[in-house]
Structure 1
Amino acid sequence: MLKITIGTQNKAKVEAIQKGFQEHYENIRFECLKTESNVSEQPFSDQETIEGALNRAKNVLRMTEADIGIGLEGGVTETLYGMFLCNWGGLVDRKGNEIIAGGARISLPAEIGRGLRQGRELGPLMDEYTHRTGIRQSEGAVGIFTDGVVTRDAMFHHVVQLLIGQLKYREKQNG
């Protein structure tokens, strides 16, 4: 049995991970634990977002007897073209192998970028912007700004598929 510990209890992230692994593996047991990313509440670069994902994966692996720890992290990154949403995943196994994958990017409205530059976190900003609560647990900013064409769980599912693909490639190479 493959034991996977997920470094979050966020519904969209958990569903993306479970769906991804169930498409490619049988006999899996999942455990979801709240863990620290050891980065800012609002990661503000690709580097910080990658570190957050890897830290979550490493932290949950240390907390359990799982075979694999997985962390997903959403962040933002500043470009010459404005503020962009970014997302990264990290997978760590008991042998110390680390796999990293990144996903979709979309530009954020100027008013959201201003709020982020003032030190605000994207989740609460999105709740205010949409006059709703819990956006990060459902469609996420990506779902709002793509009119539901791409949702947060779909975006993270793609990252998980990239992680799994690399894992399967390594498994094949190592016999």
Structure 2
Amino acid sequence: MELVNQAVLARQRGDAKAMREFYRAAFAKERAAADLVANKLDLEPTRSVLHRSAAVLALECGELQEAERLIGRALAGNPPDDIVTAAAKWACDTASAMVNVVLDRIPPSFSQDNEQINLYESRFQPIEAQEQHILDEDRRSREAAVAQANKIWTHLQETYGEFPDSVELLHRDR
């Protein structure tokens, strides 16, 4: 989890290289843990949780086929319903990401008059773009809230000086 936290912090700093390195390291560890319990179907929900987590990290690393494999393994055995639901969502995300990768690589001459591609682009890509917009708005709102909280914290520190540790305050209040 520490590696994922470091990846998130690197993303917030705009350090793409460090972010990728942290996600890759986290993915390697999570995949290794999932591999250890892959055939131990009696270890639910631990087994399926590890596979789902590894699949999420595989997607972060752009490892679409590995994510698909891990999702399949997460669904083997008897995983809890919430794992099945999450795995189904990740399966849809993986399939969507794979389609987008393919669409980005095919020549325009092939895709111009292709009914299936036109249908996908007209129906599904706008939904994906809308979902991404919602996620981006949510991220910006959180960043604004954190920035505001940091401003308030700085103002309070400048006005009143260092604050005692909250544990100290609890002991004093008793």
The TM-score normalised by the length of structure 2 is 0.29
- Higher CA-based Rg: 2
Q: Which has the higher contact order (CA 8 A, sep 6+)?
A: 1
Higher strand share: 1
The TM-score normalised by the length of structure 1 is 0.29
